[in-house]
Amino acid sequence: MVKENTIHMKGGVITERDPEFCTIRTRIPAGVITSDMLRGIAGIAEKYQAPYVHITTRQTLELPHIHHGYLDEISRDLSETGTPVGSERDEIVNITSCPGIERCVFANIDSLSLANEIDRRLFGKEMPVKIRIAISACPNGCTSPMLNEIGIIGRIQPIRTPGVCTGCGTCVEYCKEGAISIKKGISVLDPLKCVQCGTCVRSCPFELIKSSGEHYLIVVGGRRGRHPRIGKELIIVNSHEAVIDVVEKIIQWVYRRAWSGRLLSEQLDDLQFGKFKEDIGDQIPVSSIIQDGM
Ligand code: SF4
Ligand code: SF4
Ligand code: SF4
């Protein structure tokens, strides 16, 4: 018999095909884990005879084949290692993030600290629908932010400053979008082709292409699964704090207005995305919003 207790009711406890056993999913925001935490998980895996540890697509670790009778004990042990039981059901689940500015040469934002802050404020909150949040520090989108209920993408808009361009073409070579060309011996940016990756800003040896400052594109309503859907662009904001503000407003909206049983993407279709976008935009200070193409 499966024991009914509060730990079992958490989404991070996943009953297996043999209902006497479950898989324990841990909470590891952005998939960042210290060596001490790893040792702790290894010790717990051995203690409870998990045959292996599974790395998930949402950057967490799972301990498979745990008997339900050990749930309270294992939950306590996991909390002590700093990797408590995670979530999976209609909740805000593990926040995923790429390495961001700390390590990746393409990064425009500090995605790891943003992921930690969102996790600290919102992780595990019960919702009418599951909410997955993914952060990528540049438009390369390594964490697939467009395929999550909420996706955050760090961008930089390039600005061609006045100055003596040699027409060397270095920026043209670096731009993978074909958004820069040399016309009459000088570089010209095409904003319609530019995805605001910021690569050209770092490429010009004469620093003629400047950054307008980092900003954050927030997309909503994406999903993976049997009917994948690309998220829609909701808003662009100019600071880490503004992102958290927008994410909290989206969560509040979903918490109050969405209903269980249908994915957020479908509900946004029913309620007209334009109206949703307007509702959220109206709640964010104008000084925090970047108009696209500005
Ligand atoms: S999304 Fe961009 S910044 Fe993040 S890891 Fe991928 S290439 Fe690097
Ligand atoms: S920001 Fe990226 S896409 Fe835009 S012009 Fe520069 S290199 Fe090309
Ligand atoms: S890299 Fe700089 S100098 Fe060379 S073409 Fe581009 S903007 Fe001009």
pLDDT, tens digit, for every residue of 64-91?
Answer: 999 999 999 999 999 999 999 998 888 8
Indicate which ligand has the atom closest to the C-alpha of 174.
2
* Structural domain count, the chain: 2
Domain of 152, in residue numbers: 96-156+213-288
Average pLDDT in the chain: 92
Per-residue pLDDT band for 294 (boundaries 50, 70, 90) equals very low
pLDDT score for 163:
84
Pocket test for ligand 3, best of 161, 168, 186 (most atoms within 8 A of CB): 168
Residue 12 lies in a domain: yes
pLDDT score for 2:
42
Residues 64 and 124 in one domain: no
Mean pLDDT of 173-186: 96
Mean pLDDT of 218-234: 95
Residue 105 CA to ligand 1 center (angstroms) comes to 8
pLDDT score for 5:
46
Taking the mean position of all CA atoms in its chain, how far away is CA 130? 14
Give the tens place of pLDDT for each residue, 87-112. Answer: 888 889 999 999 999 999 999 999 99
pLDDT score for 1:
42
pLDDT score for 9:
67
Give the tens place of pLDDT for each residue, 1-20. Answer: 444 446 666 678 999 999 99
Residue 253 lies in a domain: yes
Give which of 122, 134, 128 is closest to 220, Cα–Cα: 134
Residue 191 CA to ligand 2 center (angstroms) comes to 9
Pocket test for ligand 2, best of 174, 181, 192, 200 (most atoms within 8 A of CB): 200
pLDDT score for 3:
43
Residues 135 and 271 in one domain: yes
Pocket test for ligand 2, best of 175, 193, 201, 204 (most atoms within 8 A of CB): 175
pLDDT at residue 292 is higher than 80: no
Mean pLDDT of 41-64: 96
Q: Is 136 in the pocket of ligand 1 (CB under 6 A)?
A: yes
User: What residues contact residue 269 under an 8 Å CB cut-off, 6+ apart?
Assistant: none
Residues 12 and 142 in one domain: no
Residues 17 and 120 in one domain: no
Read off the pTM. 0.94
